[in-house]
Amino acid sequence: MRRLDRNIEGMEDILSVLDHCMICHLAMVGKDNQPYVVPLNFGYEYKHDQLSLYMHCAKEGQKLDILRVNPSVCFEADSASSLISGPQACNFSQKYESVIAFGQADLVSNLEARQHGLAVIMEHQTGEKDWDFEPQSFARVEVIRVQVSSITGKRHI
C-alpha cells in the first residue's frame, strides 16, 4: 500500500468497515482471461481467525459459470461519506473507508450451510436474526461463500 498513513491495521477495524458496507463488488476472471465484476449484497462472519463472506444469486448466470471454472476472486467494499474540496481540481479528495480481499469462492451445497449463509447475509443487511426461508424462494438461489486468504483496509477520514 502506497499511503501507509491510510492503512487500516487490525482485523477488528477491518470488520468495522465491513459493518458499514452493504454492497460489495466481486471480481472474477472468466473465459479468455476476461475480467468480470458484479455488485452484490453480502454478509460476513469471522470465526477461528477465518473471514468468510457470503453472497447469493440466481441458480444460473455468468457469475456462476465463471466461478465453477475459476474460483479465485477479489472482493471490494467501501463506504464513501463526503467530498473534500480544495482550491484546485487535483486538491479534491473523498472521505472513505474500504477493504479489498482475495480468496476462493465455493458454491454452498449443504442445506444447513446454505441456510446459514443466507441468515448471515440477512443479519448483515438488516441487523435482525432468526430468519425463515420459504422453500420456493430458497430453492431458487445459490449461496456463494468466499474463504478470505488476505484482506487489507484503507481509510481517509
CA 53 to mean position of chain CA atoms: 6
CB 106 within 8 A of CB 27: no
Q: How many residues does the chain have?
A: 157
| Residue pLDDT, tens place only, 13-69 | 999 999 999 999 999 999 889 999 999 999 999 999 999 999 999 999 999 999 999
User: How many domains does the structure of the chain reveal?
Assistant: 1
Give the domain CATH number at 82. 2.30.110.10
Question: Measured between alpha carbons, how far is residue 17 from residues 20, 127, 135, 140 in Å?
Answer: 5, 15, 33, 31
Q: Supply the pLDDT for residue 59.
A: 93
Higher pLDDT, 81 or 60: 60
In whole angstroms, what is the distance from residue 115 CA to residue 4 CA?
A: 39
Long-range Cβ contact pairs of 10-14 (< 8 A, separation 24 or more): 11/46, 11/51, 13/153, 14/99, 14/151, 14/152, 14/153
In one letter, which amino acid is 62? Q
For the chain, what is the mean pLDDT?
91
| Residue pLDDT, tens place only, 94-111 | 678 899 999 999 999 988
The C-alpha cell of 40 is what?
452484490
Q: Which domain holds residue 119?
A: 4-156
C-alpha atoms less than 13 angstroms from C-alpha of 16 in its C-beta half-sphere: 10
Q: Supply the pLDDT for residue 133.
A: 85
Helix residue spans in 11-76 (DSSP H): 11-19, 62-69
